[in-house]
Amino acid sequence: MKPFLITICGPTGIGKTAWAINLARHYNTVILSADSRQFYKEMSIGTAVPAPEELQAVPHYFIQHRTVKEAYTVGDYQKEALLLLKKLFRKHSIVIMAGGSGLYLDAVTKGLDEFPEVDPALRESLRKRLQTEGLEPLQQLLHEKDPVYAGNADLNNPQRVLRALEVCLQSDQAYSSFLGKRKIPDFFKHIPLGITGSREIIYRRIEQRVDRMMEQGLLEEARELYPLKNLNALQTVGYQELFRFFDGEIPLEEAVKEIKKNSRRFAKRQGTWFRRSTDIKWFDFQAAPEEVISYIDSQIDH
């Protein structure tokens, strides 16, 4: 019988870590993080890395295992995660994977499209162009190179625009022509779970979390990372707003408000991503553990 990978998704701040730990304890297993911001050892407070006691309660993987100075792609993560799962399934019939990065969850459970290798010099030239000219000229170039992808993608996300453009320019083919040819991993069965709550609850939890991060020292953490602010890993909510404060663009109070606003927007984008998957079993964030365990057991015995 194939082993089971239980994935737990949901918006930022909804309680995925606590759920994952409870389930891992019940099934006597381990947790893989699928939070693309928690990979980096220098980013602790702003990414809500599990507390030391949580990390000690259950073995965790892919938590602070990289430095922000390293390039680490979703493809790198997929390869490492699938290799690790093959090892873990020799010992465990169930493994938990939790995180809010839908692309990273999908990479492991649904596979990734195959893209050509990109020349680092091309990648760097596009990044410099973004810094000097802004996003709009790159959006226009993507419309020229791949109108199909440009018509469907979130072109306000600079990372997506850069990724699509570097593939277009490297291969002289449309980025969209590489999509839809993925190989789905078949050595495990997948039980996808989602945690949700009302929009008011999600937004309130986000705002409380940001206040807590500031109390824990997010300002100091961001100040230490400020010299590295142009690195890809730091193009993220919670740091970019404080970098603007350090640059004298906005006062601290406004920076904190911007973190809350951008975190709410991020949660909304997460919801849009996860709703595309019709197989996720959704639970209210206050659901009784017994209800969740009963559902999982019914899927395992199915």
253-274 as b/e: b if 16+ CB within 10 A:
eebbebbbbbbbebbeebbebb
pLDDT of residue 158: 87
d(CA 253, CA 281): 39
Q: Which of 69, 37, 65 is nearest to 227 (CA)?
A: 69
SS3 state at 154? coil
Residues whose CB falls within 8 Å of the CB of residue 269, separated by 6 or more in sequence, listed in order: 154
Return the number of other C-beta atoms located less than 10 Å from residue 138's C-beta: 19
Question: Of 209, 187, 222, 186, nearest to 267 (Cα)?
Answer: 209
What pLDDT is attached to residue 154? 83
- 3-state secondary structure at position 105: helix
* pLDDT value at residue 146: 95
pLDDT in tens, 129-163: 998 999 999 999 999 999 999 998 888 888 889 99
H or E segment to which residue 7 belongs: strand 4-9
pLDDT at 54: 93
pLDDT, tens digit (0-9, with 9 covering 90-100), for 207-226: 999 999 999 999 999 999 99
% the chain with pLDDT above 90: 86
Q: Give per-residue pLDDT as tens, 89-111.
A: 999 999 999 999 999 999 999 99
* pLDDT tier for residue 232 given thresholds of 50, 70 and 90: confident
254 pLDDT higher than 90: yes
Q: Identify the sign of the CA torsion 111, 116, 118, 122.
A: negative
Helix axis angle for 199-216 and 218-225, nearest 10°, is: 70
The Cα–Cα gap between 32 and 45 comes to 19
Considering all CA atoms of the chain, what is the largest pairwise distance in Å, rounded to the nearest integer?
59
Q: Which domains does the chain have, with CATH numbers?
A: 4-112+182-300 (3.40.50.300), 120-178 (1.10.20.140)
Q: How many CA atoms lie within 13 A of 206 on its CB side?
A: 26
**Which carries the bigger pLDDT value, residue 159 or residue 300?**
300
Segment 62-76 shows an average pLDDT of 92
Per-residue model confidence (pLDDT) at position 203: 96
With contact defined as beta carbons under 8 Å apart, do 31 and 61 qualify?
Answer: yes
Q: Of 76 and 302, which is predicted with more confidence?
A: 76
Burial-class residue 108 by CB neighbours within 10 Å (0-12, 13-18, 19+).
Answer: buried
Average pLDDT over residues 276-285: 95
pLDDT at 117: 86
Structure confidence at residue 244 (pLDDT)? 97
- pLDDT tens digits, residue range 168-222? 999 999 999 998 878 899 999 999 999 999 999 999 999 999 999 999 999 999 9
